[in-house]
Amino acid sequence: MKDDAISPVVALMLILTIAVTLFSLWNSLYLPGLKQQAEVEHLQQVEEAFFHIDADISNMIARQWGGTMIENVPLGGGETLVHSMRSGGWLKIADDTNEGYILNISNDSFSQEIYLYPIRYMPVSNFWLDQGYIWEKGCVNVTKGDRTTWRFDIDETEVKNKRYKPFASSLFTCDERTGEIVVANFLAGSPREISGNAMVQVKMEGTISRVNLFRPRIIVNNVRTPFGDAVNSSVNASLDRFHPEKYPVGEDRFIYSVTDGQITFRFYNLTFSVT
């Protein structure tokens, strides 16, 4: 009778041991794979959102559209049916308001700094790779920690000619029909950063303003960098009809000074915010 009483207990203990072992294996091997796959899909959605933002920026600048565009960005992801915990993320427009300074337009009574702010997504408690994304200088790149890498293996010459030049030429150009100098200026709205694991929105609002400047001066910044050089080439070509004086200042800046006459500048202001 004693053996008959012990047998069910032993059997139950064996069943429990097997169940715990199977659960441990599932929790340590199968579940992480599910979470990683869900996180891969999440990062693909973030990448796609950044490509949409890139296309919106290019289209708004090209069309000088005075309106608003909104793109959704999922900060967090990685949830599954059997495990609802989500990773998080941090979306930010520029690290500070001085980042992305590219040139200055001024005369004796007016001064306007022109910026090109980057947009960053940084993962928090990611279930796969610590991979983020950044839009800057007309390109979408991948980030891992403090390191930024191109999505494709290209050399510096290709970066300048195929990536930077087309976008830089849209930032400072001459309207052949009106004779105005058209300048795109990026502004950081409020709020300019947000964190969490929900779906958030990047808002881009375009407005146009004009100013007539007598004897204007344009200072291009960071001309030694590939992008600064591309901007400088665009400024040089756009101002050619006004016959400005041209001269470098140090190794990083180049100045164009129109000593006679005036220029109408049309500023296309693109304000970014996140909600």
Q: Tell me what the mean pLDDT of segment 152-181 comes to.
A: 82
d(CA 166, CA 54): 13
Instruction: Label each residue of 209-234 as H, E or C.
Output: EEEEEECCEEEECCCCCHHHHHHHHH
pTM: 0.84
State residue 6's pLDDT score: 63
For the record, the structure tokens of 199 come out as: 């779906």
CB 101 within 8 A of CB 113: yes
**Residue ranges of domains in the chain:** 2-274
For the record, the structure tokens of 249 come out as: 């200042």
Q: Tell me what the mean pLDDT of segment 269-274 comes to.
A: 96
For residue 16, the number of C-alpha atoms closer than 13 Å in the C-beta half-sphere is 6
State residue 82's pLDDT score: 66
For the record, the structure tokens of 19 come out as: 């169940």
- Percent of the chain beyond pLDDT 90? 62
Q: Which band of pLDDT confidence, cut at 50, 70 and 90, is reported for residue 27?
A: low
Closest residue by Cα to residue 213 from 100, 80, 91, 112:
112
d(CA 94, CA 97): 7
Residue-averaged pLDDT of the chain: 86
pLDDT tens-digit series, residues 111-154: 999 999 999 999 998 777 789 999 999 989 999 877 777 665 56
155 CB burial (10 A radius; 0-12, 13-18, 19+): exposed
Report which of residues 209 and 82 the model is more confident about. Answer: 209
Q: Which band of pLDDT confidence, cut at 50, 70 and 90, is reported for residue 10?
A: low
Share in percent of the chain as helix, strand, coil (round to 5): 35, 40, 30
CB 218 within 8 A of CB 235: yes
CB 216 within 8 A of CB 105: yes
Q: Which band of pLDDT confidence, cut at 50, 70 and 90, is reported for residue 5?
A: low
State residue 149's pLDDT score: 73
Question: How would you classify the pairing of strands 253-257 and 217-220?
Answer: antiparallel
d(CA 17, CA 170): 67
For the record, the structure tokens of 15 come out as: 């069943």
CB 134 within 8 A of CB 121: yes
CB 119 within 8 A of CB 49: no
State residue 39's pLDDT score: 84
pLDDT tens-digit series, residues 219-257: 999 999 889 999 999 999 999 999 999 999 988 999 999
State residue 1's pLDDT score: 47
